[in-house]
Amino acid sequence: MKGSFCFRRGPVAKRMSERAPVAEGCVFCDIASRAPTSTTTLLYSDDKVVAFKDINPSAFRHYLVIPIEHIPTVKSLQRTEDDHQLVNHMVKVGKDLLTRDAPNSAEHRFGFHQPPFNSVDHLHLHCLALPFMPSWRQVKYTPLGPLGGFIEAEKLLERIKPQEEVYS
């Protein structure tokens, strides 16, 4: 499982905790940059994000939307217009894909795992068309309050919403 984590150091990003255009050894950076070693089929791509099926789905439909830029985790996001727009775009892409591929699903869920509960150190939005399969997997996608765990996309958008400038 070692290859699925973004922890190797390289000349592109000194640490996986840093934002960078790409991080050497990051499996999601390989997917986003369409590296020759990546066999992942993309469901969607543009100049900001790519989307693909989760390799270990937890729901009827389970997609991941990732930024092309290497952003380690939700903790790396700031209260900036750029970060807010990026996350908003990721959610829109996920909603469009699930609307297309699972229109009859009873519920859709969108969110991110927060450290230390994230499995890959590259920001990724989980887009789930329920039901969970098997049902016990819903535990992985449940917010744990102050402990972190899973944060729903709308809550994250509230957290990183740029503050209004106050003029005196």
Q: Kindly list the catalytic residues.
A: 126
Q: Which amino acid is at 25?
A: G
Q: The dihedral of CA 48, 85, 63, 26: what is its sign?
A: positive
DSSP string, 64-132: EEEESSB---GGG--SSHHHHHHHHHHHHHHHHHHHHH-TT-SEEEEEEEPTTS-SSSS--EEEEEEEE
Buried b (16+ CB within 10 A) or exposed e, 59-84: bbbbbbbbbbbbbbbbeebeeeeebb
Distance, CA of 13 to CA of 9 (rounded, Å): 7
